[in-house]
Structure formats: C-alpha cells, structure tokens
Amino acid sequence: MKVDNKTVLVTGASRGIGRAIAEEFAKNGANVAFTYLSSVEKGQALEVDLAKYGTKIKGYRSDASDYAAAEQLVTEVVADFGNLDILINNAGVTRDTLLMRMSEEQWDDVLRINLKSVFNLTKAATKPMMRAKAGSIINITSVVGLMGNAGQANYSASKAGILGFTKSVAKELGSRNIRSNAIAPGFIESEMTGELNEEQLKEWTKSIPLKRAGQGQDIANACLFLGSDASSYITGQVLVVDGGMLM
C-alpha cells in the first residue's frame, strides 16, 4: 500500500479521524496537504508534527463548504505540490436533536458542511485529476447513512447523500482512471465520544461484535488502502469499518 511521492489532500484534519489520516499518509511517504477552519492552533501544530516524516506538508485554513474557497484551495495545492493524486473528504459536523426540535438552521448547517463540501472539493479536484488521467477520491460517510439514527436526521441524510454521490462520481469518472469510494466508520473514539459517560460507552460496545470502539487509526488504514494502487480495481464501493456492528 505504497503512496510514496503521491499528494493527498485531507479536509478537516486538525483533530480526530482527519488527523489520524493525515499522519498515516505522511508516515507512508505521501506529501500531505490538509485543511482546518476553527481549530487554528491544532492545525498549525499538526503541520509541525507531520514535518518529522520528511515529506512535504502544508496546512490551509479553508472552508470546504464554500464553493469558491474550495476551488481556490485546490488551485493552491496544485501550485504548491505540483499535483493532486488523492482527495479525502473528511470535514463534517453534527447538530443532533430530534426532528420535532430541529431548526432549519441545524438542518442547513449539517447538509452544507457535510454534503455540499464533498461536492465542492470533488468538483474542484477532478480538474487536475482528469489532466493526470488518475486519481482516488475517498469520502468519509458513516454507518448512520446506511441505517439512520434517532436524533440525527440531518446527519444521517447528509451521510446517505455522500453514498449516492460517491457511486455516481465513480460511474462518471471511471473511464478517466479516477476512482471514487466511501468509508463508513462505526463507533469511533473521538472528542465527541469523549463526552459520553462510562455507562453509555458500555451500551455502545455491547452492540459491536468486536466489543470495542474503533480508533482513528482504523479509518486511516482503510484510507491508505483506497488511496494506494493496492485498490486500483476498486471504485464505487462503501467500505464499512465498524467492528461488525451492521452485520
């Protein structure tokens, strides 16, 4: 699963899953461009941390949900790195509440940040990838996009939308040697799950055959596979990384 000298762009990489993905690619020889928005200090610290791997690293403060900003970001990445081989759409938020209490703003925010950002970056990235006649697009969705979840109608809808988008892009761009796949994480330990108490964590892990929560590294490993030439005949697929929760 070598990615030596390939350039990867990871959105929302200042913490959690995104940070683990960026580090895994840098560790395996890739040049890493990544974005952050509100977590400025963490984004700047990540740029310093990843430099130890000896590849080219650069962080960009950019809003993936802004169409013009996404276009400008890809233009800058290609200018700075010379190419763009792998795009990982990871940026996302939650605004959880029951549908009867959900505001229009909560709905719009989640769809804009989680789904529109995938459209924005993918559309921008396809231009350099089509010129190179190669590329791998990896969209981070969620198991709730497959099964739904009470209190997450907005989040589930955004993640389900990513699935349809991923498959459509795979059909459109396959003839150009550009692959499009999605990864659906299950219960992954993060800052968000850190807010759960011990009893809640036990309830979650009971439903997982492997009897543990996943780690950011588990998602990073899947991304490395789909970004590398080891998966060169895989496109339009959804790789569920959930410890067997959806079986």
Structure confidence by residue, pLDDT tens digits, 209-230: 999 999 999 999 999 999 999 9
- Tokens matching residue 237: 């697929």
182 labeled part of a ligand binding site: no
What pLDDT, on the 0 to 100 scale, is given for residue 195? 60
53 part of the active site: no
Mean pLDDT of 125-144: 97
What pLDDT, on the 0 to 100 scale, is given for residue 66? 97
What pLDDT, on the 0 to 100 scale, is given for residue 194? 64
Q: Which of 112-121, 197-206, 217-226 has the lowest average pLDDT?
A: 197-206
188 labeled part of a ligand binding site: yes
What pLDDT, on the 0 to 100 scale, is given for residue 196? 64
Can you tell me the distance from the alpha carbon of 186 to that of 212, in angstroms, rounded to the nearest whole number? 11
90 labeled part of a ligand binding site: yes
Give the tens place of pLDDT for each residue, 18-62.
Answer: 999 999 999 999 999 999 998 889 999 999 999 999 999 999 999
Q: Domain map of the chain by residue range?
A: 7-241
Q: Is 84 a residue whose pLDDT tops 80?
A: yes
Between residues 45 and 200, which one has the greater pLDDT? 45
What pLDDT, on the 0 to 100 scale, is given for residue 39? 85
Q: How many CA atoms lie within 13 A of 53 on its CB side?
A: 21
pTM summary value = 0.96
Question: What DSSP element (H or E) covers 227?
Answer: helix 216-227
13 labeled part of a ligand binding site: yes
Mean pLDDT of 78-99: 96
Q: Which of 3-17, 70-84, 197-211 has the lowest average pLDDT?
A: 197-211
Q: How confident is the model at residue 192 (pLDDT cuts 50, 70, 90)?
A: low
What pLDDT, on the 0 to 100 scale, is given for residue 245? 92
Mean pLDDT of 82-95: 96
Can you tell me the distance from the alpha carbon of 142 to that of 153, in angstroms, rounded to the nearest whole number? 13
Mean pLDDT for the chain?
95
With CA atoms as reference, report the closest residue to 243 among 227, 222, 226, 224: 222
125 labeled part of a ligand binding site: no
61 labeled part of a ligand binding site: no
Q: Is 137 a residue whose pLDDT tops 80?
A: yes
Can you tell me the distance from the alpha carbon of 119 to that of 156, in angstroms, rounded to the nearest whole number? 17
Q: What is the DSSP string of 14-70?
A: SSHHHHHHHHHHHHTT-EEEEEESS-HHHHHHHHHHHGGGSS-EEEEE--TT-HHHH
Q: Is 240 a residue whose pLDDT tops 70?
A: yes
Residues whose CB falls within 8 Å of the CB of residue 90, separated by 6 or more in sequence, listed in order: 10, 11, 12, 13, 17, 18, 21, 140
Say whether 206 sits in a helix, a strand or coil: helix
127 labeled part of a ligand binding site: no
What pLDDT, on the 0 to 100 scale, is given for residue 87? 98
- Token pair 């991923």 is found at 166
Mean pLDDT of 115-130: 98
Which H, E and C letters describe 83-124, residue by residue? CCCEEEECCCCCCCCCHHHCCHHHHHHHHHHHHHHHHHHHHH
Q: How confident is the model at residue 141 (pLDDT cuts 50, 70, 90)?
A: very high
Q: What CATH class has 7-241?
A: alpha beta
Which of 36, 60, 155, 233 is catalytic? The answer is 155
Q: Is 201 a residue whose pLDDT tops 80?
A: no
